[in-house]
Amino acid sequence: MRLVVPICLFATVMASAQSKPDPAQGNEIFDEQCSSCHRADSFEKKVGPGLKFLFSKEKLDSNGKPVNNATVLEKINIGGKGMPAFKDSLREQDKQNLLAYLNTI
Protein backbone atom coordinates (compact mmCIF):
# COMPACT_ATOMS: atom_id res chain seq x y z
CA MET A 1 0.00 0.00 0.00
CA ARG A 2 1.31 3.41 -0.95
CA LEU A 3 0.81 6.51 1.19
CA VAL A 4 -0.33 9.55 -0.72
CA VAL A 5 0.24 12.94 0.90
CA PRO A 6 -1.86 15.77 -0.49
CA ILE A 7 0.28 18.46 -2.10
CA CYS A 8 -1.33 21.20 -0.03
CA LEU A 9 -0.39 19.38 3.20
CA PHE A 10 3.17 18.92 1.96
CA ALA A 11 3.39 22.61 1.05
CA THR A 12 2.07 23.60 4.49
CA VAL A 13 4.60 21.41 6.26
CA MET A 14 7.44 22.79 4.13
CA ALA A 15 6.33 26.37 4.69
CA SER A 16 6.18 25.93 8.45
CA ALA A 17 9.60 24.28 8.47
CA GLN A 18 11.04 27.22 6.56
CA SER A 19 9.22 29.87 8.58
CA LYS A 20 10.67 28.96 11.98
CA PRO A 21 13.35 31.57 12.66
CA ASP A 22 16.88 30.20 12.95
CA PRO A 23 19.29 32.25 15.09
CA ALA A 24 22.33 30.46 13.59
CA GLN A 25 21.32 31.57 10.11
CA GLY A 26 20.59 35.01 11.54
CA ASN A 27 24.16 35.11 12.86
CA GLU A 28 25.43 34.42 9.34
CA ILE A 29 23.24 37.23 7.96
CA PHE A 30 24.51 39.54 10.69
CA ASP A 31 28.11 38.69 9.81
CA GLU A 32 27.46 39.32 6.10
CA GLN A 33 25.18 42.36 6.24
CA CYS A 34 25.51 44.08 9.62
CA SER A 35 28.93 43.46 11.16
CA SER A 36 30.69 46.08 9.06
CA CYS A 37 28.72 48.74 11.00
CA HIS A 38 27.58 47.02 14.24
CA ARG A 39 29.21 44.94 16.94
CA ALA A 40 27.20 42.02 18.32
CA ASP A 41 29.45 41.41 21.32
CA SER A 42 29.88 44.95 22.59
CA PHE A 43 28.09 48.19 23.39
CA GLU A 44 30.92 50.00 21.63
CA LYS A 45 29.98 51.99 18.56
CA LYS A 46 31.52 50.98 15.24
CA VAL A 47 29.74 53.00 12.54
CA GLY A 48 26.38 52.27 14.14
CA PRO A 49 25.71 51.36 17.77
CA GLY A 50 26.91 48.15 19.38
CA LEU A 51 23.99 45.73 19.66
CA LYS A 52 24.98 43.62 22.67
CA PHE A 53 21.88 43.05 24.83
CA LEU A 54 19.78 44.97 22.30
CA PHE A 55 16.53 43.37 23.45
CA SER A 56 17.21 44.16 27.10
CA LYS A 57 17.19 47.89 26.33
CA GLU A 58 14.07 49.90 26.95
CA LYS A 59 14.33 52.02 23.79
CA LEU A 60 16.19 52.04 20.48
CA ASP A 61 19.02 54.57 20.49
CA SER A 62 18.20 55.75 16.98
CA ASN A 63 14.54 56.66 17.36
CA GLY A 64 13.50 56.20 20.99
CA LYS A 65 10.91 53.53 20.14
CA PRO A 66 10.50 50.55 22.48
CA VAL A 67 12.76 47.62 21.64
CA ASN A 68 10.69 44.73 20.32
CA ASN A 69 10.65 42.59 17.17
CA ALA A 70 8.31 44.99 15.36
CA THR A 71 10.37 48.14 15.95
CA VAL A 72 13.70 46.43 15.23
CA LEU A 73 12.23 44.96 12.03
CA GLU A 74 11.00 48.44 11.09
CA LYS A 75 14.54 49.78 11.59
CA ILE A 76 15.97 46.96 9.45
CA ASN A 77 13.42 47.68 6.72
CA ILE A 78 13.60 51.48 6.55
CA GLY A 79 17.04 52.23 8.00
CA GLY A 80 17.71 55.85 8.85
CA LYS A 81 20.36 58.00 10.54
CA GLY A 82 23.05 56.56 8.27
CA MET A 83 21.75 53.00 8.24
CA PRO A 84 20.69 51.72 4.82
CA ALA A 85 17.25 50.20 4.33
CA PHE A 86 17.18 46.43 3.92
CA LYS A 87 13.49 46.13 3.02
CA ASP A 88 14.16 44.91 -0.50
CA SER A 89 17.66 43.49 -0.09
CA LEU A 90 16.85 40.81 2.51
CA ARG A 91 14.22 38.10 2.18
CA GLU A 92 11.53 38.03 4.87
CA GLN A 93 12.86 34.72 6.21
CA ASP A 94 16.35 36.26 6.46
CA LYS A 95 14.92 39.14 8.47
CA GLN A 96 13.15 36.72 10.82
CA ASN A 97 16.38 34.75 11.24
CA LEU A 98 18.26 38.00 11.92
CA LEU A 99 15.69 39.01 14.55
CA ALA A 100 16.00 35.58 16.17
CA TYR A 101 19.78 36.08 16.36
CA LEU A 102 19.51 39.63 17.70
CA ASN A 103 17.28 38.29 20.47
CA THR A 104 20.15 36.03 21.59
CA ILE A 105 22.95 38.59 21.86
HEC secondary structure over 5-20: CCHHHHHHHHHHHHHC
pLDDT at 19: 77
pLDDT of 75: 97
> What distance in Å separates the CA atoms of residue 96 and residue 61, rounded to the nearest whole number?
21
Q: Taking the chain (105 residues) in consecutive chunks of 10 residues, what is each chunk's mean pLDDT?
A: 57 60 98 98 96 96 95 97 96 98 98
Domains and their CATH numbers in the chain: 22-102 (1.10.760.10)
